[in-house]
Amino acid sequence: MQTYRNTVDGNLAEPASRYEIFNPANGQSLGYAPESDEQEVDRAVHAALLAQKTWAKRSDGERRDITLKIAQILEDNSGYLAELLTREQGKPLSGPGSRFEMQACVGWTQVPASLELPPETVYEDDERKDTLHRVPLGVVAAVAPWNWPLMIAIWQIIPAIRMGNTVVLKPSEYTPIATLEMVRLISEALPPGVLNTVTGDGNIGSKLTHHPDISKIMFTGSEATGRHIVKASASNLAPITLELGGNDAAIVLPGTDIKRIANDLFWGAFLNMGQTCACIKRLYVQEDDYEAVMSELSAIASQMKIGDGMDESVLIGPLQNKMQFEKVRNLVSDARSAGCDVREFGEVPEQGYFLPITLVGNIMDGQRLVDEEQFGPALPIIRYRELDDAFESANRLDAGLGASLWTDRPEETIELATRLEAGTVWVNQHGAIHPMVPFGGNKASGYGVEFGIDGLKAVTQSRVISIKK
């Protein structure tokens, strides 16, 4: 059985120890992942620190060209990585699954390569000229999650190295293998030390984020871990970009044509089996439209095949790990015990972390499935009478990553959209991110943004050069 390895200073490191990774669809072993120790964290950070000065001296054009080479490597190896991702993470190859994730990896590499942050004249008169330059921060500690492990790792890696930083990446301990293979492949285009990995649980993540030579922390994951990272940053004063997930609300405005929006509503909620930070976790529907929404979503759900994502006909796979499987199952059980209308769809395989597609009606604010981010294929559908009540409900929780409005009159929704307390408010879509559009959370869903020009700025620091004429 293969043992995968970390990339440290351009070489594949011999693991201090290892642990086994299993396919969430069938329990089969995928091989062994390395488990780093404190010494390997030190070696990785030291390698990144030594490489950073030289990497930063490369011209902007050189770093752009190398980034484009990385995009080509991702494209050339997308089939291999997609299959490995499906076996490890569980998402299907087809539909909005592993091949889709690999397409996103390519796109989110090409776009930062195309962007520039040239010096900006911020003030000039007869006596002086002041220009603002964007320079690298140094070594970036990137901590990636298990739900979109390759795509989100690329979101962290590519802007950082594009702007002259070096990176030490820690993938989730649940999904390290595909990420380690991706880093091994793209490191062929990079000088040694520019991109390094360490692996393990939260203790290794903590050693990385506390490290005194870290100059920036990028983290996507839970709010609880995010709070620990904020405390860790006090030891090195590293600025942080935090994306801490959300309990996204969607509001269907009264009188909307439900049949027209039903398919987009469904995938807005059940993309990646609901294991997506910015997907619909709470659906608010005017009481007169409630039955139509339940009927249309039920019709779509009943057509979905649940199973091993290596089957090309499957669009709904397993949950990634036992912890998440048990959490979602318990939340649905709690709703059922409370007398909610629990409707389950799909024939679920006996083996693996599979759950049926679940719609839960007759549920209210305050119940666990509404108030706790489920991160799985169970959608609470909540009636409202007055639109103001729906906005109050949508904003009542601390989460504020995304939200959406659904309507037949999208041109009339700008004022309504500003009432939703979220980093992004979509209209007639949900989770529709784009590599040119800044993305980040409000409230307890984190701070800082990724993507586009603002995302590049987030991995740099400003330097003003003021010249007396």
Would you give the distance in Å from CA 287 to the centre of its chain?
33
Is residue 63 within 8 Å of 161, Cβ to Cβ? yes
CATH class of the 7-244+445-468 domain in this structure: alpha beta
pLDDT for the residue numbered 202: 94
Is residue 334 within 8 Å of 10, Cβ to Cβ? no
Question: Three-state SS for 58?
Answer: coil
Count the neighbouring beta carbons within 10 Å of the beta carbon of residue 55: 22
Q: At 412, list the tokens.
A: 């009339």
Q: Is 279 a catalytic residue?
A: no
Instruction: Find residue 439's DSSP bridge partners.
Output: 450
Q: Which of 105, 277, 279, 340 is catalytic?
A: 277
Q: So where are the chain's domains?
A: 7-244+445-468, 249-435
Q: At 77, list the tokens.
A: 């190896």
> Number of C-alpha atoms within 13 angstroms, CB side, residue 203?
7
Rounded CA gap, 413 and 423, in Å? Answer: 16
392 Cβ contact list (under 8 Å, min separation 6) = none
Q: Is 277 a catalytic residue?
A: yes
Amino acid symbol at 449: V
Q: Tokens 């140094």 sit at which residue?
A: 138
Q: For the residues of 125-174, what is the DSSP string, one character each?
A: -SSEEEEEEEEE-SEEEEE--SSSHHHHHHHHHHHHHHTT-EEEEE--TT
pLDDT for the residue numbered 245: 84
Rounded CA gap, 129 and 134, in Å? Answer: 17
Rounded CA gap, 386 and 371, in Å? Answer: 20
Rounded CA gap, 275 and 353, in Å? Answer: 13
Instruction: Find residue 286's DSSP bridge partners.
Output: 384
Would you give the distance in Å from CA 377 to the centre of its chain?
17
List, run by run, the mean pLDDT of 10-residue segments along the chain (469 residues): 96 95 98 97 98 97 98 98 98 97 98 97 97 98 98 98 98 98 98 98 96 98 93 93 95 97 98 97 98 98 97 97 98 98 96 98 98 98 98 97 97 94 98 98 96 98 98
Q: What is the DSSP letter of 10?
A: T
Q: At 163, list the tokens.
A: 């702007």
238 Cβ contact list (under 8 Å, min separation 6) = 141, 209, 214, 215, 216, 217
Phi then psi for residue 162, to 5 deg, are: -60, -35
Rounded CA gap, 417 and 264, in Å? Answer: 18
How does 337-361 read in b/e, with b if 16+ C-beta sit within 10 Å?
eeebebbbbbeeeeebbbbbbbbbb
- Count of helices and strands (H, E) across the chain: 15, 22
pLDDT for the residue numbered 55: 98
pLDDT for the residue numbered 413: 93
Q: At 105, list the tokens.
A: 């990896």
Q: At 209, list the tokens.
A: 């984020």
Q: What is the DSSP letter of 439?
A: B
Nearest to 338 by CA among 373, 365, 374, 298: 365
Q: At 264, list the tokens.
A: 């987009």
Domain range 249-435, CATH architecture: 3-Layer(aba) Sandwich (3.40)
Q: Which of 243, 296, 373, 421 is catalytic?
A: 243
The overall pTM is greater than 0.85: yes
Q: Tokens 């200073």 sit at which residue?
A: 9
Question: Three-state SS for 464?
Answer: strand
Count the neighbouring beta carbons within 10 Å of the beta carbon of residue 364: 12
